[in-house]
């Protein structure tokens, strides 16, 4: 899971990045608010750890701009400020959690995991030339907008969330139709066929007797 750290304190930022990477995250670190804002417009993250005091664009302004775009990215504010007023300002701006700067990385990582788990946020998925924006329910391939049905979108999302792996037919059925209708018909095959027509014949691989996987594109 990709995490964005926005922290101008070099020691704190480096420590956060190392701790998150060691915990199994893919941590990207920015020291300036405007650089982080530009990155958020082009890349996808599962959560952000955000400081308030930053060069050129402070954390609260960055957060407000993010929420004004209707982004649901989970945000953990990490700051040296510890007054009730500071906390209220952060939550009013759209923060999901607040933590006073600490060297106890175990608590921070636990809070971050809980935040991601509660939010269920996915955001934007990328695989080769495919980009799936879950917030706007749009999909593009090499910049071209794809006309997908709701079921095709859901199917592609599950495949992209597991890109590089084979997703079983039964898992796809359960995700799309629930346990009651799983295995009733060849509806998954129909949707896979339609997706191939829209993405390209070589975009999806069938593993006989197992399931389906996205191919490198």
- Contact between 44 and 133 (Cβ < 8 Å): no
pLDDT at 47: 92
Strands 204-207 and 2-6: unpaired
pLDDT greater at residue 163 or residue 60: 60
| Residue 179, pLDDT score | 54
**Cα angle value 191/192/197 (rounded, 5°):** 95
State the pLDDT at residue 89: 92
pLDDT of 217 higher than 80: no
* Helices vs strands, H then E, count in the chain: 8, 12
Across the chain, mean pLDDT equals 86
Banded model confidence at residue 168, pLDDT cuts 50, 70, 90: confident
Residue 88 CA to residue 95 CA, distance in Å, equals 9
**pLDDT at res. 185:** 65
pTM: 0.63
Strand 204-207 vs strand 211-214: parallel, antiparallel, or unpaired? antiparallel
Place of tokens 């945000």: 75
pLDDT at 106: 87
Please say whether the beta carbons of 203 and 194 come within 8 A: no
Instruction: Provide the pLDDT for residue 52.
Output: 93
- Highest average pLDDT, of 17-21, 33-37, 201-205, comes from 33-37
Angle between helices 150-161 and 187-199 (to 10 degrees): 80
Among the residue ranges 16-20, 26-30, 57-61, 204-208, the one predicted with the least confidence is: 204-208
What is the reported pLDDT for 6? 97
């Amino acid at each position: 899971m990709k995490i964005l750290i926005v922290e101008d304190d070099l020691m704190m930022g480096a420590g956060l990045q190392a701790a998150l990477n060691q915990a199994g995250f893919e941590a990207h670190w920015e020291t300036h608010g405007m650089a982080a804002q530009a990155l958020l417009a082009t890349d996808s993250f599962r959560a952000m750890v955000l400081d308030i005091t930053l060069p050129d664009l402070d954390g609260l302004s960055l957060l407000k701009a993010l929420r004004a775009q209707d982004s649901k990215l989970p945000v953990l504010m990490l700051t040296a400020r510890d007054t009730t007023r500071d906390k209220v300002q952060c939550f009013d701006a759209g923060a999901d959690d607040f933590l006073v700067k600490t060297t106890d990385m175990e608590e921070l990582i636990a809070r971050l995991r809980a935040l991601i788990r509660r939010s269920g946020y996915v955001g934007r998925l990328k695989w080769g030339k495919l980009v799936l924006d879950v917030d706007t329910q749009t999909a593009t391939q090499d910049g071209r907008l794809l006309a997908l049905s709701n079921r095709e979108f859901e199917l592609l999302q599950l495949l992209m969330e597991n890109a590089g792996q084979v997703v079983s037919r039964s898992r796809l059925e359960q995700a799309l139709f629930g346990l009651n209708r799983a295995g009733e018909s060849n509806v998954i095959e129909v949707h896979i066929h339609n997706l191939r027509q829209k993405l390209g014949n070589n975009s999806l691989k069938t593993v006989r007797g197992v399931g389906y996987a996205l191919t490198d594109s």
